[in-house]
Structure formats: structure tokens, C-alpha cells
Structure 1
């Protein structure tokens, strides 16, 4: 009976902690003998840190983008300022292109030579009309005036240098002289035009012009005027009448 009522108490495996010891961790790898045909695991390698250049690229790209943005902003501001000044100039001064025409044409000499050359002397009066109220023009010295017949130059002259003020009409008288080599064909065509009373001529004027606003001279440009004339005769002892007159100015910057 005493043996039947005897109690059994559990015994601690580790008296110091009162808990069973944990099972041992399995090794990461097992070294086996070469005879067992096993392969030795590779030794541990140290991982080399990798450095990426994204930081440097992003920094350079952002700097480049800032430069592009600054350039675009500066260009926009410059265009805006220039457009504002141009609009102000046009609104205040209201610039208009001067008009040019041939007012009169006179013949002093028209002599045919036996060697098919022609000596001519004409007096051409050019009318320059400046319609601007606040803008004047300075006409320079390096000018040229010529009279041509069928792309052949008859004579040449030069405009005098002068200043044209506001709302001004100026008459410029130019004397043109020259000797040209004409073939028999051109002489016959010219004589036929003289008999019909309709002689086509071209008066070509080229002159440097400077803009003057108030008392301040601005930039210069070149005005080229081509006038297509038809006159009734080229006789020295007879008044020459202009039958038709059409002038077109061209501005060369």
C-alpha cells in the first residue's frame, strides 16, 4: 500500500534555471571526409560595398536644368522688353516710309555716234516726301542715280547729302552724264521708240539714309528706288513729258 501511494515529482534537468536546455542549433554546414564524396563549402566572402553614381548624375542634371531655366527666363524677359519698346515707339511716333517719285525729266544732250556709242545728258528731279511728324532723315554722300534703257546704262549721277525734316517735301535736281556702248539693235529699238513717242526708261536711285528722332540720330539703312518711266521724246531742243511714272522703294538693312 505504501508503494501504491508514493508520489513521483518531476526532476529539473537544469537545477540552476529550472528549465530544460534548448536543443543545439544545427551547424550551417558539415565538414565531411573526402572519402565520403562531399564538397567543401566555399569560404565566407566579404561583401564589397557598391557605390552608385546616381547622386553625382542627378546633381549635374539639376544644375544644367537650372541654367536652362535661367536662360529661358532671361530670353523671355528680353523679348518682352524689346516688344514693349517697339510697341511704345510705334504708338508714339507712328513711323511711315517716305515716298519717292520722279517729278520732271529733261534732256540736255542725246547724240548718236558712228561707232554705235551714245552720249547722253539728262536732268532728273527726284521728289522725296517725308510724312512723319516726329522723324527726320539724313541722306548720305555715297549715293548713286542712273538712267537705263533695256538694262543698258545710259548715264550716271549722284544725289547731294542733305537733311530732311518732319513733314517735309524736298525736290532734288540731279544732272546725269554718260557715254554708253550701244549695238545696232539697241539703236534701232531706241529710234523706233522715239518715233512712236513712248520711250521706256528706268531711273534707279540708291542712297544711304539715317533716321533722326528729335535730335538723336539712329541707325542707317540703304534705300533703293526703282522708277519705271515712259517719256514722249529725248530731243535736247524739246521739252520732255513724262507719260507714266511708277516708283517702288526697297529698304536694305
Structure 2
């Protein structure tokens, strides 16, 4: 039995086993090949301030802020105007003036040879201003029209005047007109005169300036629609107003 040993065999058995390194250094010649990154590698996206989605988001936020500011300003303005209007209303306590047609005086109401109706009427109107701090100025461009069943009998104008606060003013309005009437209208008028109930519609329109204290406001157009029923339209005789109804309207 040979117990001898070989020095070369002992040295070979002491060499470490072969293994694969975790990292490999590559030179420039080796990088020219088709190399791929390992499957576990991540490529996080880079932040780009010029990205279209970021630009649209920032511009949308700016528009939203602008709209919110506009709505806040509008809401604040409405609140301020409401408070001011309430203070003015509580201070002045405005009331609608009261208008009444007190009486009618018929000067002429007859059918002429050309079958036209000649009408001359004087209306007496009372204007009552119950306000303690508000006055009214009535302009020149006014109109008063008297209708009978859709046909204009006569017309005229209100006098221009100023009405102070806590005041009652009575004035007369001259109305004249000449209207062609047909046989149907004549028969209807004769039947109403015989019954003692003649319906009339008096329409008054006048430009009015409201005066708060000593400060005039903008001009408005006041309209009054007065439905009257009188017992007669005979000239130079007293006329009784059997019923009346008033409707008011204001246009700016």
C-alpha cells in the first residue's frame, strides 16, 4: 500500500470552489453587445414641469380662482345693496300715492252732422301724497284718455306740477275729442244711457320723478287705469260716479 502523497494534489484540493460574482465590470468593448437591464430594475418617471397635463391643471386652477372671486364680489355687492335698501325703506317708509277722479263735468256730448261724436269733458282729479319724506314731480309728457267700450271719446294732458310730502293736490283736466261712431256703437250708447250705467275706462300716464328728501331720483312712468261707471253723460248736468276701480303700474 502506497501512503505517499502528491504535493500537487494537496494544492489542488485547497483551491476555493468556483462561483459567479454578483457584479461584473464591463469595458467599452463589452458594452457594444445587446445587454438588457435585469428584470428587477425600475425606471421611475422624471418630473417635467412642461408636461401638458400639468399646464392644463395649473391654468384650470387659475380660472376657478377667478370665477370664485367674481362670485364672492357679486354676493358682497348684493348684500350691501340689500342692506342699503332696507335702511332707506326703514327710514323713509314709502307709500304709494292715492289718486281719485272726484267728478266729471260734461260740456259737450253730441253727434254732429257727419255722424261723428263731439265730446268735451272736464275731470277733477285728487292726488294724495301720504309720505312724510318723499315728494313727486310730474312732468309735461303726460296723457289722459277716456274710452267707451274700446272707442276713444276724448283725451288730454295732466298739468306739470311738484307735489311735496304730506300734501293733497286737486286739479282739473280738460278732455276733448271727436270720434266717428257707427250705428252699433250708437245703439250701445243709447242702451247704457237709458239704463243709467255707462262704463268708462280712464287711462292716465305721467312721467314722475321721486324726490327723497331733497335728492331727486330717476324718472319713472306711472300708469293709472280707472274703470268708472257713471249714470249719465248729459251736458251741463251733475254726473254721479256709481263705481270705480283703480289699477296702478310703474315702468322704468
Q: What TM-score range do you get, normalising by the shorter chain?
A: 0.7 to 0.9
Query: Which of 13, 19, 23 in structure 1 is aligned with 2:20?
Result: 23
**What CA distance in whole angstroms lies between the structure 1 residues aligned with 2:23 and 2:6?**
41
CA shift for structure 1 position 50: 9.5
TM-score normalised to the size of structure 1? 0.82
Which residue number in structure 2 is paired with residue 238 of structure 1? Answer: 237
CA shift for structure 1 position 116: 2.2
Which residue number in structure 2 is paired with residue 137 of structure 1? Answer: 136
* Structure 2 alignment gaps of length 5 or more: 25-32, 37-42
Distance 1:23 1:248, change over 3 A: closer
CA shift for structure 1 position 65: 1.0
* Structure 1 alignment gaps of length 5 or more: 14-18, 28-40
CA shift for structure 1 position 84: 0.6
Q: Aligned runs of 1:1-253 on 2, under 5 Å?
A: 3=3, 13=15, 22-23=19-20, 52-253=51-252
Distance 1:243 1:20, change over 3 A: same
The alignment covers a number of residue pairs equal to 233
CA shift for structure 1 position 186: 0.6
Indicate if the aligned counterparts of 1:107 and 1:121 stay in contact, CA closer than 8 A: yes
**What CA distance in whole angstroms lies between the structure 2 residues aligned with 1:230 and 1:152?**
16
Indicate if the aligned counterparts of 2:230 and 2:241 stay in contact, CA closer than 8 A: yes
CA deviation profile, 1:191-240 (whole Å, cap 9, x unmatched): 22222221111111110111101111001111111111111111113111
Which residue number in structure 2 is paired with residue 36 of structure 1? Answer: none
Distance 1:150 1:60, change over 3 A: same
What SS does structure 2 have at the residue aligned with 1:74?
helix
